[in-house]
Structure 1
Amino acid sequence: MNALSPSDAPIVETASETVRERLRAGEEIALLDVREEAFFAAGHPLFAVNLPLGRIEELVTGLIPRQNVPVVVYDNGEGLVRPAVALLRQLGYTAVSALADGLDGWRASGGELFIDVNVPSKAFGELVEHVRHTPSLPAEEVHARIARGDDLVILDARRFVEYNTMSIPGGRSVPGAELALRVRDIAPSPDTTVIVNCAGRTRSIIGTQSLVNAAIPNPVFALRNGTIGWTLAGFGLDHDASRKAVDFTAENHAKARQRAQELAEETGVEFITPAQLRELESRTDHSLYRLDVRSPEEYETGHLAGFRSAPGGQLVQATDEWIGVRHGTIVLTDTDGVRARMTGHWLRQLGWRHVFVLDDWTGLKQENGPQPVLLSRQLADVSLVTPAALLAQNAESRPPLILDLATSRTFRAGHVPGAFFIIPTDLVTHPDLPTERQIILTSPDGVAAKIAARRLVENGIEATVLEGGTAAWTAAGHALETGLSKENALSEPVDIYKRPYEGTDNAREAMQAYLDWEFGLVAQLDRDGTHGFSVLET
């Protein structure tokens, strides 16, 4: 008798309560929501990780590095579970099951549902403020202090690109993990008030509490409710600001490192040697995440092989974007001895039981350049077209159909002229996909396009891939089109959930509703009971 193919094999189910038991027990488990992000953001379990069906092959290796870890997949009745389970099995995952009765089963069994994205970190931020009474000032008070010319600095704890989009007037970009490292040089006088902001609440709270924990001598406050609170108070924002942190001095670096060491030890962060790292890497009984918490620019200049770029402040804010297995093992590194320790002391409080810091890079292979793509299997050999050839074909009377598999956010910012946006999950089943017209696939770097081309070929549809993706198109000097509309979209842009704090065109009602939701997260954590958070109370 022939063995069943992965797509035909019976799907094992896992009960919702079993998932919660593993979470409470500190056992490794990955709970995957395979819907698009907009649907995920409408309601999901606390530790669910969003990995849409069409992105699994592209992203799963980074999120779930151990192939024999328990993986539980769910949707909300859209029919995505069976193909997701089949694909994961094809990619080598051996312990894949479906959540019994999907999202309805979770809800019916008493499981709590959370809206929005990056919820564990946001809920934790609210708990930190609740427990530690993190100091904050309302927008009106900060605005008055600025108007009076008070001695203060405003530090924006978000990524630089977010700060550059909109910022508090006079503020400078100091992403979260940089705060404790650089604040003593930004505000050398202990009389200078330090105000930390983000767009909403989480990074303001965590950034401010980081400085409180770091025992800086200055008065320090969060800007209450961030740029949302500032906007709701009627104050204007800066756009395209580019102020950054100053370099740190040796004396202040030593102070920051000493205090970071104390915090790391107090919260149970462990320290490993290169030999111990190799031992961790050799084990097959845990999911290992190796993360470099420095800035992306520093990472590209030089980093340890096998380590991914995860700037510390953003890692604490959005842990589920790097780590797909709850209770996995985390190794952090930097070159200053501050950022990894500060990040680690927060991850321990976030309930990650095994957090290590690696200081010594001796004997370990180093690389430079951008973060390598982690693939679950070798890309298929597919037909390629150069940017020059595509440019010529686009000028013909019957040009090819160009399908762009970038996210809707990236597509909107810039795409090959004439391209259509499509979500990878929709590619094979889309009713308007013509079979008589040449199809050319592209994506930012071409990887997602090659993955999608394999799927089309497996379904009897020939496709060609733009060599090097859209990046190669721009590198060749060709212009991009911008915008996303009904005229150039074959999918609804549900792959991205529009955060109420992103961009500059948000409705006041949506911003206020977002704040109201954040205020209720502590109560939701109590009802959920699986979080394992433990806030440092010193």
Structure 2
Amino acid sequence: MSARSLTAAAAKQRLHAGREIAFLDVREPAAFGEGHPLFAVPCPYSRLEVLTIALVPRADAAVLLIDDGDGVAARAAERLAACGYTDVSLIEGGMPAWAAAGYGVFAGVNVPSKTLGEMLEHTHHPRTIDAATLRQWQREGREHLFFDARPPAEFAKMRIEGARCLPNGELAHRFAAVVPDEAVPVVITCAGRTRGIIGALGLRAAGIRNPVLALENGTQGWALAGFPLDRGADPNKLPDELPLLDPQARQASRARAETLIARNELARISATDAAAMLDDRKQTSYLFDLRSAHERSERPCRAAVPVLAGQLVQATDQYVGVRHARLILVDDTGLRAALTALFLRALGFEPHILVLDDEPQAALPQNRTTTLRHPEAPPAMTAGEALRHVEAGAALLDLRPSQAWEARRLEGAHWISRADLPATLPAGTRAVVLHAEEADAVAAATIDLAQDGIAVHWLAASLDACAEAGWVIESEPRTLTREQASDRVWFVHDRHDGNREASLQYLAWEMGLIAQLDADERAAFGAVDLANA
């Protein structure tokens, strides 16, 4: 299949035509973070096949690629055709042509979701509390409940003392159990702005009558005010560890869901409807399970992707690659799904809610067929076998994350991204040993190397296992430059590590997103009606 080329102008028009399209940015994370089109989905060439098949589940979906004008999109189009995709186009000249045409270039990640948060803040003005006031409340012992809207892994890295980890969606669902007093103020924080804003407005949408306040600028605002953050803490009472709701609290969640769904005319479907949508070959459908791990184990829906409701709103482009697609949201009482649907609809998607309590005996989708094909990795070899190949002259390349290479590595191993292969190898290279734990990374790199007649040997063993087999392990820390470590987003990357200027830059970036929008981009976002909430 030969990919079609589109001018930046034609691509821009196609993006705003209202039809399904997967707009994939095949540059590496560092380049993506420095600037990309608003609705481009990060899909770096180094992980192209595995990410695309997860993000774009329909083989005949329209796929549009953008690169740096360096030919990577053309390579990516060939690889996607080999996976089974049949409608792939690319933008002539890549990002340089896009920028030269005067179209918006947005730094950072999860930009559509963050832009929505800023738009909702401007429209609905959720109540906020600044760091100094919250600190005074804590010192005075003033009654309030304090929740962190982020997932457990983020919460564990750094948190504000007194905060309890209960991500967006889960807090609303469990509200009757964790906030028994309708008068007590509730404070919600995140790392910056978006999840605090969405969390506060979500509780308003759910009909919560408590005073709800978002901590202004989240943990970054707290640190900028000179207050300490706890780091490396164990999350307390995370969603998966919480007991099932008692009948009264569960009924409160269900009642709020019924009101929210009816008031906002959200689409509600049956399990049979969901199965039919997944089988529909004319429209792309995604299936997400918003329940906790314990709840999923009680009644599995194995065809669904498990995700926290708040994260599906916060980082939609990490889960959904096709704009205007159909998103089926699985939930028990329906409240987590209804809140998620409310915001996903404003992002331009078509959400449908599958309330399991409506059909306690219905069969749920357990698998999903696909014609898409993953590349195959060569057989993994033992550490001893790989060592012998290196001793015989094979080049030793490390495909693990660059930060893992910086910490510890095999002696003589060069860190490399698949996107750099085979061009950066010395002339005459005939064989390589790839050190990587993920088969997908090796399978992808093998294709590119094999085209140049280079034999690939896969070393999947851990560094400790390699040491036992006679490899020398380099343990002294080494640092790659930003240009070298292309697999990381460097955009204000150290804002959580005490870099005051980076935090200020990040917060200014978030608050400035709306001003960057052109008319078509602004029109792509829908409204969230909270007038009667």
Output the TM-score relative to the length of structure 1.
0.86
Matching residue of 1:451? 444
Are the equivalent residues in 2 in contact too, given 1:350–1:534 (CA < 8 A)? no
Q: 1:504 to 1:117 in 2, by over 3 A?
A: closer
Are the equivalent residues in 2 in contact too, given 1:411–1:482 (CA < 8 A)? no
**Match for 1:350 among 347, 352, 375?**
347
Matching residue of 1:167? 159
Letter in 2 for 1:347: L
Answer with 512-521 or 338-347: which moved more. 338-347
d(CA) in 2 for partners of 1:263 and 1:471?
52
Matching residue of 2:185? 193
- Aligned to 2:180, the other structure's residue is in SS state coil
**Match for 1:427 among 412, 421, 427?**
421
Matching residue of 1:364? 364
Letter in 2 for 1:293: L
Are the equivalent residues in 2 in contact too, given 1:44–1:114 (CA < 8 A)? yes
Displacement of 1:326: 0.5
d(CA) in 1 for partners of 2:505 and 2:168?
25
Displacement of 1:115: 1.3
Displacement of 1:329: 1.0
**Match for 1:341 among 338, 342, 359?**
338
d(CA) in 2 for partners of 1:490 and 1:121?
26
Displacement of 1:136: 0.7
Matched, 1:440 2:440: no
Are the equivalent residues in 1 in contact too, given 2:381–2:457 (CA < 8 A)? yes
Q: 1:99 to 1:438 in 2, by over 3 A?
A: closer
Q: 1:180 to 1:410 in 2, by over 3 A?
A: farther
Matched, 1:309 2:294: no
Q: 1:342 to 1:490 in 2, by over 3 A?
A: closer
**Match for 1:286 among 283, 288, 291?**
283
Deviations 1:42-97 (A, max 9, x none): 22211111111221112111111112222111123222122122222222222111
Letter in 1 for 2:363: G
Are the equivalent residues in 2 in contact too, given 1:296–1:311 (CA < 8 A)? no
- Aligned to 1:529, the other structure's residue is in SS state helix
Instruction: After TM superposition, list the pairs within 5 Å mapping 1:92-171 onto structure 2.
Output: 92-171=84-163
Displacement of 1:33: 1.2
**Match for 2:376 among 370, 376, 380?**
380
d(CA) in 1 for partners of 2:17 and 2:185?
43
Matching residue of 1:269? 266
Deviations 1:121-146 (A, max 9, x none): 00000011111101111111111111
Deviations 1:410-460 (A, max 9, x none): 5557767875432121232223598366513313x3332233234323321
Are the equivalent residues in 2 in contact too, given 1:267–1:348 (CA < 8 A)? no
Answer with 70-79 or 111-120: which moved more. 70-79
Structure 1 unmatched runs, 5+: 1-5
- Aligned to 2:90, the other structure's residue is in SS state strand
Structure 2 unmatched runs, 5+: none
Matching residue of 1:3? none
Q: 1:536 to 1:418 in 2, by over 3 A?
A: farther
Displacement of 1:36: 0.9
- Aligned to 2:230, the other structure's residue is in SS state coil
Q: 1:304 to 1:424 in 2, by over 3 A?
A: same
Q: Identity over the aligned pairs, expressed in percent?
A: 33
d(CA) in 1 for partners of 2:329 and 2:277?
13
Matched, 1:41 2:28: no
**Match for 1:331 among 328, 332, 335?**
328
Letter in 1 for 2:255: Q
- Aligned to 1:41, the other structure's residue is in SS state helix
Matched, 1:534 2:531: no
Answer with 325-334 or 408-417: which moved more. 408-417
Q: 1:42 to 1:373 in 2, by over 3 A?
A: farther
Q: How many residues align?
A: 520
Are the equivalent residues in 2 in contact too, given 1:334–1:340 (CA < 8 A)? yes
Answer with 201-210 or 526-535: which moved more. 526-535
- Aligned to 2:173, the other structure's residue is in SS state helix
Q: Please, what is the CA RMSD of the aligned residues?
A: 3.4
Deviations 1:265-317 (A, max 9, x none): 33343122222122212221111111112345755776323211222111100
d(CA) in 1 for partners of 2:213 and 2:198?
11
Deviations 1:85-128 (A, max 9, x none): 22222222221112244224333444222111100000000011
Q: 1:299 to 1:495 in 2, by over 3 A?
A: farther
Answer with 171-180 or 219-228: which moved more. 171-180
d(CA) in 2 for partners of 1:440 and 1:24?
42
d(CA) in 1 for partners of 2:90 and 2:204?
44
- Aligned to 2:450, the other structure's residue is in SS state helix
Deviations 1:454-481 (A, max 9, x none): 43233211122235x659969x999998
Q: 1:374 to 1:464 in 2, by over 3 A?
A: farther
Instruction: After TM superposition, list the pairs within 5 Å mapping 1:13-24 onto structure 2.
Output: 13-24=5-16
Letter in 1 for 2:364: L
Are the equivalent residues in 2 in contact too, given 1:501–1:511 (CA < 8 A)? no
Are the equivalent residues in 1 in contact too, given 2:169–2:309 (CA < 8 A)? yes
Letter in 1 for 2:138: I
Matching residue of 1:465? 458
Letter in 1 for 2:344: L
Deviations 1:327-381 (A, max 9, x none): 01111113343222221122112221343435347223548xxxx9999424436
Answer with 524-533 or 152-161: which moved more. 524-533
d(CA) in 2 for partners of 1:234 and 1:479?
45
Answer with 32-41 or 78-87: which moved more. 78-87
Letter in 2 for 1:57: E
d(CA) in 2 for partners of 1:345 and 1:490?
39
Q: 1:466 to 1:281 in 2, by over 3 A?
A: same
d(CA) in 1 for partners of 2:374 and 2:493?
38
Are the equivalent residues in 1 in contact too, given 2:220–2:503 (CA < 8 A)? yes
Letter in 1 for 2:131: A
Output the TM-score relative to the length of structure 2.
0.87
Deviations 1:168-211 (A, max 9, x none): 11111112221101233222122322111111000111111111
- Aligned to 1:205, the other structure's residue is in SS state helix
Are the equivalent residues in 2 in contact too, given 1:190–1:217 (CA < 8 A)? yes
Q: 1:525 to 1:491 in 2, by over 3 A?
A: closer
Q: 1:47 to 1:90 in 2, by over 3 A?
A: same
Matching residue of 2:237? 244
